[in-house]
Amino acid sequence: MMEHDIYKRLLDRLQGMKAAAVGFSGGADSTFLLLAAKEALDERVLALTAVTPYMERQEVTDALALGAQLGVRHELVELDMPEGMEANPPDRCYICKRALFGKLLEVAQNAGFGRMLEGSNLDDLGDFRPGMRALRELEIDSPLLECKISKADVHRLSESLGLSTWNKPTNACLLTRLPIGQRVTMEDLNRLEEAERFLRTRGFICVRVRMHADLARIEVAPEQRRRLLEEAESIARTLQGLGFHHVTLDLLGYRLGSMDPLGSGCDRVAADAASGSGGEGMDQLPQSGVEVGVS
């Protein structure tokens, strides 16, 4: 089907709504959905961005800038750590989605927007996502899914529409950097956020810093492993300054879900997909990893 027909189908779906609020993270999917909703509904759309203790602050900054560029009414909705997530449980994504979209739905309805939309696409059906169950329970609409729009469609249409997010790398919440079952502290979350921000300023775009007690395990794209080793000493010093006693490079490279040896964690999806959902995990180094240490 031609791209014009795909986009028109989405607009037709959205134009059938009186008004709608969009759960807006600033990622590729939700930005594309928000642009379409703005075109279809004009002033009858509201962007809502959840702010939680376990999301990166830069994501909020980016979402604010994008909302302003799109010219939509945009509100931040702050949430505390949902009850039950303090120990980073296997079902954290269900707990998070239920609490997060429950709050967004409440804010939307109080503002007179009866419909709550979110940006899951067709590819998301192929992943293990307990969080999708929370969306169904709350009756959150997923227009991209309903219109059978894939991740590739989102990329192509976003680029043709001039959206800067068309090739934006996916990013899962900071809890995916911690072992399942490890108690979550703001100190650890801040340390992880600062470590990844530093690596991105050095040009490592697809990167994760996984925490195992006082050890930081760095994952980068395979083509950047040699470069990271060349800069190993300065990188190690910086991460040690953040409180990591040992710093390692994972030779298997950047891969989502590596904190979970069973491969069903929140971060386990293709590299161009949105964040996934929780699964069983172990508080230890992944059994499948091969690493070289820098301490």
Q: How confident is the model at residue 125, as a pLDDT?
A: 81
Give 176-221 pLDDT, tens digit per residue.
999 999 999 999 999 999 999 999 999 998 899 999 999 999 999 9
Q: Which DSSP letter does residue 158 get?
A: H
Could you give the strand order of the β-sheet that contains 291-294, starting from the edge strand earlier in sequence?
Answer: 207-212, 215-220, 246-250, 291-294
- At residue 210, φ and ψ (nearest 5 deg) are -95, 140
Q: Residue 279: which pLDDT band, with cuts at 50, 70 and 90?
A: very low
Q: Does residue 14 surpass a pLDDT of 90?
A: yes
> What backbone torsions phi and psi does residue 50 show, to the nearest 5 degrees?
-80, 140
Nearest to 179 by CA among 207, 208, 212, 209: 212
pLDDT digits (tens, 9 = 90+) for 23-60: 999 999 999 999 999 999 999 999 999 999 999 999 99
- Owner of token pair 């993270």: 25
pLDDT (0 to 100) of residue 256 = 76
Average pLDDT over residues 3-21: 93
Torsion angle of the four alpha carbons 72, 77, 82, 88, in this order, in degrees rounded to the nearest 10? 60
Q: Is the pLDDT of residue 294 over 70?
A: no
